[in-house]
Structure 1
C-alpha cells in the first residue's frame, strides 16, 4: 500500500540534513569512559537504584493488557514478554517528549524555542495528556538528536554530524529545569553503523535518566546518501542495541533503558518478529510519519499495530501534520482510541 506522505518525509529529512551541510562532523564525543569516570557514574547509578521499586508482575501484566485496548486478534498484548527490572517507566507512566536539535529551529520544538518558552509549551501538552488519561501519570522528557545525518561527508566520509559533549550537556541542563525529566539521545547514523556510533554517547547512556532512540530512515546500509531514500535496520541490529543497553544496565545497576525505534514504512524495520525482548530494555516502536489524521492512523495500523514488538509510540508534527485538510493535530483523546494505546508521545 502506498502512502503519499512518504515522499514528503524524505524531502523533509533532506531539508533537515542540509542544515548541517557545513557543520564539522567531528564534534567532541566519548569513545569510552575512563575508569575514574566510570566509577563515578556507577556510584550515582547505585544511589538511584537504592530507591527503585521492584516491579509487581501482576500489575505490569494488567497495565500491558489495558494498553492493548481490547484487541481480540491475539497480537496485543505481546505474549511472553519479560517483566522489567526495578525502576521501569513503562507501562506505569506515559512518556511525553519534545524532539529536536539545539542547532536548528526547523528540526523540532526542542530547538525552536528558548528553554523557558519550550517548557511552557511542553507542560501544556503534558496537562492535556493528564486530563485525557488521568489514570496514567506522565513522564516528561526531551528527545535530542545527538547525531544528525549530514549533507556533506565530513572528515570520516560518513555523512554524519555528531553533537559534541557541550551540546548534549546543554540538553541535560535544560532537563534539570524541571525535576525528574528524562532525556533521549537519538542517532541518525547515515553511512556509519550503530555499532560504531553507540560508544560516542556511552558515558551518557550510563546515566539513569538518559535513554536511546535510533532512526532507521537515516541508516544507509546500501551506501546511498542520507535524505535520498529511506534507510533500514534489521532485527540483528536492534538486538545488538538492546544487548548493548542491557550490558550497561547490569554493569552500572541502572533502571531499564527505554529504547525508541522510529518507523513509518515496512522496510525501515526488517524481521521484527526476531527482535529479542530483555528485562533491562523497554522497546518502543514509534510511528514517525507525518500527514493528515487518517493517514497517520493508517501508518500506525500497518507498521506498528501489524508487527507487534513490545510498546508503541506516536509522533505529532506541529507543522507538517497541518499541511493538508483538516489541518489539525490528532488529540490525546483520539490517540487513546488506537489499538494499542501509544505509551510514548513525541512532539516535533
Structure 2
C-alpha cells in the first residue's frame, strides 16, 4: 500500500472559546485537530479542537498565548500556552517554513516529569502561504496520547532515485526538475508496492550534496557542496508529496561528522536522512578522490550516529536513517565495532554494479549482515548487466528495505 501524499489544512466553520481551567474526563484516545488562521496583519492565530464522535473537529479552544508573530525565524518551533482537552494538558507547536507556509503539531504534558511529549504531526498539517486572512483552517486529527513515532522502515520500503541536480551522468535524479523526478520515482515506487504485499512503499530523493572533486579545493576537502537553496528545492517538493530525502556526502578529504553537521537544518526535518559514501574518502591514502577506493572507520560512523540520535531526541522525530555505501570490504574499517545506536536506523547498501550474481553476493556480504539493520540495494541503469527487475529484487532471500536507482 503506497504511502499517501501530505496535503494542506481544510476550512472549518465552528465557534471558538477562550481556554479555561476545564476538567474533561480522561480517555485512552484523545483525537484533536489544530485550528489556525492568518490574520490581516500577517500573524498566525492557533487553537485546538476536540474531535467529536461523528468525526468532525469541534469547537475551537484558544490558548491565552496563541499568536505567531509576523517575523519568525524559518524552521524554528514556537509553542502556545496550554489548554486542557480530554483531561490532558496540550499545546500547539508551530513553525514557519522557508516558502511561507506554516507547519503545526501537538504536544502533551507528561505526568512523570512535567516535560512535554514529542511533537505529534497530523498528516494534514500545513497552513498555505497564500491562505485568505481571517479564514479558519483545521488539520486532520491526531491522537494526543499516541506513542512517539517509530521507524518508517518498520512498515515501509523506500524506493529512491540517486544523483546530483543537472548532471545526468551522476545518476537518474539529475535528469529533470525535482517535481519531474518525483513523478518518475513515484511510478517506480507504485510498481514495488504491487509486489510487496501489505507493506507500504515510500518514494525518496537520494541527493548528492557533497561531490568529490578531481582538483584540490580552497578548503582542502576536495569537495563541491550543493547550496542550501538548491537542497531546499528537493526538501520542499518531498514535504509536499510525502516523500523522503537522503542527503549523500562523498566526504573527500573532509570527515563524516563535519560534513553531516553542515546539513543540520535539513536533518532536523523528520523526513530527511543521511548517507555516507566511503568510496571517495581518500585522505588516509593521500590520493585525490577517484584514484583509489576510500574508506570510513567504525569510529567515524559511530560519531555520526550519536550526532543524529541527538537531533532525534531534540526534535522528537522518528529515527534517522543513516546509509553507508559499500562494495568492498575495506570501505568500512572495523565493521564489527559499529555500534547499535538508539534513534538511528543503520542501512548498509550494496553499491556495486555488474552482473546479477556479483551484485547478489555483495548484497549478502555487506548489506544483509550486521551491523546493517535495514539492507539497501543499488541498481545502475547504465552499468548493471542486466538491470535486475523489481520482481528479482523482491525475490531476494531478504528483500531490501531500501532500493536506490542510479
Q: Do Structure 1 and Structure 2 share a fold, with TM-score over 0.5?
A: yes
Rg comparison, structure with higher value: 2
Aligned-pair CA distance for 1:47: 2.1
Corresponding position of 2:4: none
Corresponding position of 1:238: 301
Aligned-pair CA distance for 1:333: 2.2
Take 1:185 and 1:91, find their aligned partners in 2: how far apart are those partners? Answer: 21
1:330 maps onto 2:388 in alignment? yes
SS at match of 1:106: helix
1:317 maps to which of 359, 362, 380: 380
Contact (CA 8 Å) 1:46, 1:254: kept in 2 or not? no
Contact (CA 8 Å) 1:101, 1:110: kept in 2 or not? yes
**1:271-293, CA deviations, whole angstroms, 9 ceiling, x for partnerless residues?**
22221112311111111101111
Corresponding position of 1:90: 153
Aligned-pair CA distance for 1:329: 1.5
Take 2:121 and 2:403, find their aligned partners in 1: how far apart are those partners? Answer: 24
Aligned-pair CA distance for 1:336: 2.4
Contact (CA 8 Å) 2:105, 2:121: kept in 1 or not? no
Aligned-pair CA distance for 1:91: 2.4
1:182 maps onto 2:244 in alignment? yes
1:263-274 mapped onto 2 (5 Å cutoff): 263-274=326-337
1:15-164 mapped onto 2 (5 Å cutoff): 39-40=76-77, 43-44=94-95, 47=105, 49-51=118-120, 86-164=149-227
* Residues 1:308 and 1:240: Cα distance change in structure 2 (over 3 Å): closer
Unaligned runs of 5+ in 2: 1-71, 79-92, 96-102, 107-117, 123-146
* Residues 1:205 and 1:107: Cα distance change in structure 2 (over 3 Å): same
TM-score normalized by structure 1? 0.74
Corresponding position of 1:17: none
**1:7-51, CA deviations, whole angstroms, 9 ceiling, x for partnerless residues?**
xxxxxxxxxxxxxxxxxxxxxxxxxxxx95674388559827543
Corresponding position of 1:79: none
1:208 maps onto 2:277 in alignment? no
Aligned-pair CA distance for 1:341: 2.1
Q: Which has the higher contact order (CA 8 A, sep 6+)?
A: 1
Take 1:240 and 1:135, find their aligned partners in 2: how far apart are those partners? Answer: 35
Contact (CA 8 Å) 1:91, 1:343: kept in 2 or not? no
Unaligned runs of 5+ in 1: 1-34, 54-83, 323-327
SS at match of 1:311: coil
Take 1:199 and 1:181, find their aligned partners in 2: how far apart are those partners? Answer: 22
Aligned-pair CA distance for 1:166: 1.3
* Residues 1:116 and 1:37: Cα distance change in structure 2 (over 3 Å): closer
Corresponding position of 1:217: 279
Aligned-pair CA distance for 1:130: 0.9
TM-score normalized by structure 2? 0.64
1:342 maps onto 2:400 in alignment? yes
Take 1:189 and 1:230, find their aligned partners in 2: how far apart are those partners? Answer: 12
1:287 maps onto 2:350 in alignment? yes
Take 1:38 and 1:250, find their aligned partners in 2: how far apart are those partners? Answer: 17
Aligned-pair CA distance for 1:319: 0.8
* Residues 1:290 and 1:51: Cα distance change in structure 2 (over 3 Å): same
SS at match of 1:154: coil
Take 1:314 and 1:221, find their aligned partners in 2: how far apart are those partners? Answer: 27
* Residues 1:248 and 1:50: Cα distance change in structure 2 (over 3 Å): closer
Contact (CA 8 Å) 2:211, 2:249: kept in 1 or not? yes
